[in-house]
Structure 1
Amino acid sequence: MWEWKNIYRGMLMGASDVVPGVSGGTIAVVLGIYDRLIEAINGVFSKEWKKHLKFLIPLGLGVGTAIVLLVNLINFLFENYPIPTQFFFLGLIIGVLPYLTHKAEMKRTFGSKHYVILVIGLVIVASMGFFQTSETDPIKNFTLSTYVLLFFSGFIASSAMILPGISGSFMLYVIGVYSTITLGIENFDFTIIGIVGLGILLGIVSMSKIVKYFLENHTSATFALIIGLVIGSVFVVFPGVPGTGAMWIVSFLTFLGGLLAAWLLGRVEYK
């Protein structure tokens, strides 16, 4: 049976993938489909490939639709209302944590080594907030080396994207091609979209195999790392202290909106 409900799930994941600092994998966790997503990506190469495609195709349609439709809106919000927008996603990320700890059965399964792994994951992602990004104006002159860069940028970003807590968009920002790729999407530049898309596809397949292995063979340690990655992303997304009283109020309200969105999604998906 086709899982058409995944279109809306994919749209939520796609919207988050546009935002530097927020991971589509994080949204997959709060939607309760992360394990299923990893299983389906790997299952495409099995005898049950038809069943898994019925899960992935609607999800992919949702992701693609959201990226095309929302890239302008997300860019507008970040350019004009960056702090309230980031506080919304901050609330969304923090709202994911209760579902993650519940899924991991943290109190029952975690020992001291798992908390060490959690801290390592936290530090890895939090340190990204201190990276000096090399983001520049969109690339105008394209050469073979430019297209190679775009391909590997898509590969690296999607490998990060499949992990909750690591933002593929932020990786593109660090590499310096975020504005080039988003402009290519806005202008329907199919050369850029195709090359980056191929890199993304190969990256997702490669990383999903690695994640599947660790989820099956080192479940608690994998969840410890994922929880650490998600907590670490809070430091990446945090925009700093609002400068005015009005901005404090607006940011607090958008933060509550993010928490509420995570709670509502969790209630719907975990009912």
Structure 2
Amino acid sequence: MEWRNLYRGFLMGISDLVPGVSGGTIAFILGIYDQLLISISGFFSKEWKKHIGFLIPLGIGMGATIIIFSKVISYLLKYYHEPTQYFFLGLIVGVIPFVSKQAGLRKNFKIQHILLMIVVASALASTAFMNPIDPITITHLTVKNTIILFLSGWAGSMAMLLPGVSGSFILLLLGVYATVITAISDFNIPIIIATGCGIVFGFVISSKLIRYLLSNFHTGMFAVIMGLIIGSIFVIFPGMPESGTPFVMSVIAIVLGLLIANILNGVGDKA
């Protein structure tokens, strides 16, 4: 068992609770993104036993964090929204040099890759101006909302695996974010199962697809990933903070995020 994946899962779990922040970005920072894709797709194959040691501690860390911190994150986003967003903004900005190094940007990127990166970044940034579907908190399952939650979980999980795309943000746009967070906080098992089945299904499909694209279109896929990460900066940007205490807290938060990203990048380089 790779028990150090407990803290990795902890970090990924926290990020996946925040709309606009991607667990895939944290996996990139930690240097486990490729192994994550291999293990998820490999777990649903004949060689599934080889991947249990990697996935179980990671899953425990993520699951425990989501259960324990769902209310904490909701509280921070409600009462300290700007500093919380600036902290994650610092993490995202801090990962860009690391991903650039992994992609071999100066060596491998040509004009078409740069254009692709700009297009993807612009497309994701434009979602910041989209209005989420009016949220209705689902507490009891019907056939219709079971299908909605399953498909939402599927879409969210595909986003979770892509650096720069937030699964929580997708759920927010689809109007089910409040339902999922409330279900986790209240241990509403039927809602959790309906959404969780969609998430698992999405993980299987998207992990295989992303692995294929990285293997066969490596530079182009990294251009997409970098575009997604850059575009997510505009999605999560909460606006300029008010002067005084909010401004100071936001500055401290973004600096702290940058520092932590730098530390984790060092850990990722050694992973």
- Give the 5 Å matches for 1:169-208: 169-208=168-207
Matched residue count: 270
Task: For residue 32 of structure 1, give the secondary structure of its aligned residue in structure 2.
Answer: coil
Q: Is the Cα contact below 8 Å between 1:12 and 1:27 reproduced in 2?
A: yes
Report deviation, 1:217.
Answer: 0.3
1:19 counterpart residue number: 18
- Aligned partner of 1:205: which letter? V
- Aligned partner of 1:247: which letter? P
Q: Is the Cα contact below 8 Å between 1:135 and 1:178 reproduced in 2?
A: no
Q: Per-residue displacement from partner, 1:134-188 (whole Å, max 9, x unpaired)?
A: 2424234542111111111100000111100000000110100111111000011
Task: For residue 67 of structure 2, give the secondary structure of its aligned residue in structure 1.
Answer: helix
1:262 counterpart residue number: 261
1:153 counterpart residue number: 152
Q: Quick one: distance in 2 between partners of 1:238 and 1:269?
A: 25
Q: Is the Cα contact below 8 Å between 1:158 and 1:200 reproduced in 2?
A: yes
Report deviation, 1:74.
Answer: 0.3
Q: Quick one: distance in 2 between partners of 1:184 and 1:12?
A: 21
1:66 counterpart residue number: 65
Report deviation, 1:84.
Answer: 0.5
Q: Per-residue displacement from partner, 1:52-107 (whole Å, max 9, x unpaired)?
A: 12111111111111100110100000000000100000000001111100101111
Report deviation, 1:48.
Answer: 3.0
1:221 counterpart residue number: 220
**TM-score between the two structures when normalised by the length of structure 2:** 0.97
Q: Is the Cα contact below 8 Å between 2:139 and 2:191 reproduced in 1?
A: no
- Aligned partner of 1:206: which letter? I
2:233 counterpart residue number: 234
Report deviation, 1:31.
Answer: 0.4
1:103 counterpart residue number: 102
Q: Is the Cα contact below 8 Å between 2:139 and 2:183 reproduced in 1?
A: no
Q: Quick one: distance in 1 between partners of 2:256 and 2:264?
A: 12
Q: Quick one: distance in 1 between partners of 2:21 and 2:15?
A: 6
Task: For residue 21 of structure 2, give the secondary structure of its aligned residue in structure 1.
Answer: coil
Task: For residue 231 of structure 2, give the secondary structure of its aligned residue in structure 1.
Answer: helix
Q: Is the Cα contact below 8 Å between 2:90 and 2:256 reproduced in 1?
A: yes
- Give the 5 Å matches for 1:245-260: 245-260=244-259
Report deviation, 1:124.
Answer: 2.0
- Of the structure 1 ranges 135-144 and 34-43, higher mean CA displacement relative to structure 2 is found in 135-144
Task: For residue 135 of structure 2, give the secondary structure of its aligned residue in structure 1.
Answer: coil
4+ long deviations beyond 6 Å: none
Task: For residue 154 of structure 2, give the secondary structure of its aligned residue in structure 1.
Answer: helix
Task: For residue 194 of structure 1, give the secondary structure of its aligned residue in structure 2.
Answer: helix
Q: Quick one: distance in 2 between partners of 1:85 and 1:74?
A: 9
Q: Quick one: distance in 2 between partners of 1:255 and 1:97?
A: 15
Report deviation, 1:190.
Answer: 0.7
Task: For residue 6 of structure 2, give the secondary structure of its aligned residue in structure 1.
Answer: helix
Unaligned 5+ segments in structure 2 are: none
**TM-score between the two structures when normalised by the length of structure 1:** 0.97
Q: Quick one: distance in 1 between partners of 2:245 and 2:125?
A: 28
Q: Quick one: distance in 1 between partners of 2:249 and 2:178?
A: 27
Q: Is the Cα contact below 8 Å between 1:20 and 1:173 reproduced in 2?
A: yes
Report deviation, 1:7.
Answer: 1.1
Q: Quick one: distance in 2 between partners of 1:261 and 1:73?
A: 20
Unaligned 5+ segments in structure 1 are: none
Q: Quick one: distance in 1 between partners of 2:49 and 2:237?
A: 41
